[in-house]
Structure 1
């Protein structure tokens, strides 16, 4: 079972990333692009995910993953129930979402430092 503290440190550890609070909700950004956001109750993590792959992700684990609201379907975004994720999986989802918003050279540099993924 993952909780927000399992991934919170990534908000400032990942290059070019920082955390902000918007209307009481924790979000991770690179510049002005939000790549991870948590619900007010910190039970749901929204994260960037390729549009063309999100239906498959949701179908693979419908008790864990769900699509965003209709108004947010235009974004490359998926929601996950944090309690249904293990901490390592939650960290991997954050790093993968971060990869979508940083240059490839930044992502590759992360891989050199963390060859086995996020700890």
Structure 2
């Protein structure tokens, strides 16, 4: 996948918009970060992943998921886009969207 693939996926959901974060392309929901491209150009920064789940993802699929010391104390996992498929990205992205979207947007998607 590429960030453009992630962008196309997420922009189909209500309230998602293009933006920037720390000088890189980002996707936001109501001005809060849904995901962003890491400075290396191949990694997606995915918030909303608790440390215990992140550890499980990293242990089970280390070529795809990882984190750095910088993110150790945050509920974030890093994903290598060049190794990813839509099925790897969409569930994590969708969960974060649900956490950020308004009740109206969730209802429009049949989730409210």
Q: TM-score range by the shorter chain?
A: 0.7 to 0.9
Q: Unaligned 5+ residue runs, structure 1?
A: 114-119
What's the TM-score once normalised by structure 2's chain length? Answer: 0.76
CA distance in 1, matches of 2:8, 2:80: 19
In structure 2, do the counterparts of structure 1 residues 60 and 43 end up closer, same or farther at CA, with 3 Å as the change threshold?
Answer: same
Mapping 1:62-81, distance limit 5 Å: 62-67=62-67, 69-81=68-80
Structure 1 vs Structure 2 CA RMSD: 2.5
In structure 2, do the counterparts of structure 1 residues 100 and 52 end up closer, same or farther at CA, with 3 Å as the change threshold?
Answer: farther
CA distance in 1, matches of 2:104, 2:97: 13
In structure 2, do the counterparts of structure 1 residues 91 and 42 end up closer, same or farther at CA, with 3 Å as the change threshold?
Answer: farther
Q: 1:11 touches 1:19 (CA, 8 Å); kept in 2? A: no
Provide the residue aligned with 2:85 in structure 1: 86
Higher relative contact order, chain-length normalized (CA < 8 Å, sep 6+)? 1
